[in-house]
Structure 1
Amino acid sequence: MQNIVSFIVRKSVRLVSLLFAICVITFVLISQSPIDPIQAYIGADMMRVGPEQRDKIAENWGLNEPPAVQFFRWGASVLQGDLGTSMIYRRPVTEIISEKFLHSLALMIIAWILSGIVGFTLGIAAAMKKGKWQDRIIKGYCYTLASTPAFWMGLLLLMVFAVWLDWFPIGMGVPAGVLAEDVTLADRIKHLFLPALTLSIVGVANIALHTRQKLIEVLSSEYILFAKAKGEKGFTLLWRHGLRNISLPAITLHFAAFSELFGGAVLAEQVFSYPGLGQATVEAGLRGDVPLLLGLVIFSSIFVFVGNLMADLISFVVDPRMKEKRSL
């Protein structure tokens, strides 16, 4: 128990330093961006706003101060639990993140589960049929997916299932023109299906190839040869001796893939106009919404860090070799 606590403490210290570095880099990049946040804030009414009004807007949002002063003022507010107010939505950043995160969470959880199950199954099937046509088909499929951008896969699915076949809506999280209280669960699922399918298809490749390689190594080990000599084969051999040895690496890799999942969600949400964190991040960047963008950077960094931490904890708790390495 003490080892786990010290392990989490070390990871937390790394998280704090990582967040500080990411916030500084993000703020510097935003300050050097050619996008004028005041002009983006005004929008279509730019010609109606005079210099005095622009100065008042800049003063209201603190944009008339040096970048260093803006950053430290923002940092002081963050330490008090205040991420500021979004310039786009005119609402607290925490409210926007919590609202958008619910949409993205449903999308990523479904995609994460599907990619894990399908990838693990395909990896086992390829390893059990090593060198045969089934193995070659699965490997070719995975190598193709590994080099396929998420946005291209999303556009392909959108074109086939939404435009040609008209089975699913083209985009958005709910039907257009429908009141929130009239939106049914079936409507939400229909709008969620294609973005989730896009992420799950793209995420299959790494899990499948990794599982295939690990299972091939296990099947060539001495204790598997001994089990085969005793007459065990097929699914019985896999169930008794293979799954236990390949499950932990696959689960660890799947949790560590949270960062790729979040990055893919940004592209998928843009393709399908899905109202999640990814779409909010792109909008905040293009319109110079500094408080919202920094809040999203912090949240996404914590989200990815938690995924990697869970993967490390699983390895630390289940695999005794990790404990021995930490004690050395």
Structure 2
Amino acid sequence: MYYQQLALYILKKFGKLITLLVAVSILSFTLISLSPIDPIRSYIGADMTRVSPEQRENIAEYWGLNESKVQQFLNWGSHLLQGDLGTSLLYRSPVAAIIAERFLASLALMGLAWVFSGLFGFIIGSIAGMKEGTWIDRIIKGYCYTLASTPAFWLGLLLVTIFSVSLGWFPIGLGTPAGVLAGDVSIFERLRHLFLPALTLSIVSVANVALHTRQKLIEVLESDYVRYANAKGEHGFILFRRHGVRNIALPAISLHFASFGELFGGAVLAEQVFSYPGLGQAVVQAGLGGDIPLLLGIVLFMTIFVFIGNLIADTLYKLVDPRIRRRDF
């Protein structure tokens, strides 16, 4: 019985994913179709004045841009069902290959930022919860509220100004040194180029985890069994280790998994500031260049990425709270 309910639950989630992908595809295609950007002009670039109207028509026919918008979407959808995401107009390469290459760069950035922001947010949230009402708690709350309203691009520009321009400790941007082949770049150099974008994304992602952890810990410390433990002589770190960590760790992790969408949104801004060659930079270039196949491919990929994060968060919530598991199963 349990496995049948589990299979039904997975099928429901899969159905929601398919519906979500269809809706996102239609909405994204509609928005970019209404854009005033001419994809042919973006494709030709600076040589626009040298291209005759006949050549423009040939280019439009080659890429299928001379057909109606509905037919373009149907053509793209039929190729997608065959496993073909199409070819990028800007990069002249298969969309799947571009996503695979750019995602590895973005994965390193988002992965480091995700881990560091989670650990740092959990630590300072725990400290604020244990020191509720003190000056330490007020400083941490003020710090988190300030971060929650700080744009990622502004923080990135500030870090570049301080650590790259003024101090010269880190490169201004890019993923590798300019003029050096990717195979010749050392791991140390890659980390130097990755540090400031990852730091920017980590700092702006701390607030939610820290404030959530603080509130959950305060609720735990006000419970009857913790008050009883306190009356028995358990205080400080011992009380936190025995009764606090196990009650706040999984909810914090669940919330952090559910923040994949915000993480990618911050990565888009951070990659633009630092000219970091990831998916965020590619999606901005695709939008500004009218590259419909690349834009739709990245949007679908990131939709699946965020959906998986939310699915993991839902699963962890069920592990934490049996009441949710019984309700869904």
Q: TM-score range by the shorter chain?
A: over 0.9
Gaps of 5+ in 2: none
TM-score of the aligned structures, taking structure 2 as reference length:
0.98
Task: Quote how far apart the aligned CAs of 1:249 are.
Answer: 1.2
Q: Secondary structure at the match of 1:33?
A: coil
Task: Quote how far apart the aligned CAs of 1:226 are.
Answer: 0.6
CA distance in 1, matches of 2:328, 2:67: 47
Query: What pairs with 1:98-137 in structure 2 (closer than 5 Å)?
Result: 98-137=100-139
Task: Quote how far apart the aligned CAs of 1:31 are.
Answer: 1.1
**What corresponds to 2:274 in structure 1?**
272
CA distance in 1, matches of 2:129, 2:35: 49
Q: 1:24 aligns with which of 23, 26, 50?
A: 26
**Paired residue type of 1:94:** A
Q: 1:243 aligns with which of 233, 239, 245?
A: 245
Alignment RMSD, CA only?
A: 0.9
Q: 2:144 aligns with which of 139, 142, 145?
A: 142
Gaps of 5+ in 1: none
Report Cα offsets for 1:174-203 as digits up to 9, x if no partner.
000112221100110000000000000000
Q: 1:316 aligns with which of 315, 318, 322?
A: 318
Q: 1:165 aligns with which of 161, 164, 167?
A: 167
**What corresponds to 2:290 in structure 1?**
288
Q: Secondary structure at the match of 1:91?
A: coil
Query: What pairs with 1:222-233 in structure 2 (closer than 5 Å)?
Result: 222-233=224-235
Q: Secondary structure at the match of 2:205?
A: helix
Q: 1:75 aligns with which of 74, 77, 85?
A: 77
Q: Secondary structure at the match of 1:89?
A: coil
Q: Which runs of 4+ in 1 moved over 3 A?
A: none
**Paired residue type of 1:46:** M
Report Cα offsets for 1:203-236 as digits up to 9, x if no partner.
0001000000110011001000110111111111
Report Cα offsets for 1:100-158 as digits up to 9, x if no partner.
00000000000000000000000000011111111111011000000001111111111
**Paired residue type of 2:69:** P
Query: What pairs with 1:166-205 in structure 2 (closer than 5 Å)?
Result: 166-205=168-207
**Paired residue type of 2:143:** Y
**What corresponds to 1:63 in structure 2?**
65
CA distance in 1, matches of 2:320, 2:277: 38
Q: 1:215 aligns with which of 206, 210, 217?
A: 217
CA distance in 1, matches of 2:225, 2:141: 27
Which stretch has the larger CA shift, 57-66 or 176-185? Answer: 176-185
Q: Secondary structure at the match of 1:131?
A: coil
Q: Secondary structure at the match of 2:126?
A: helix
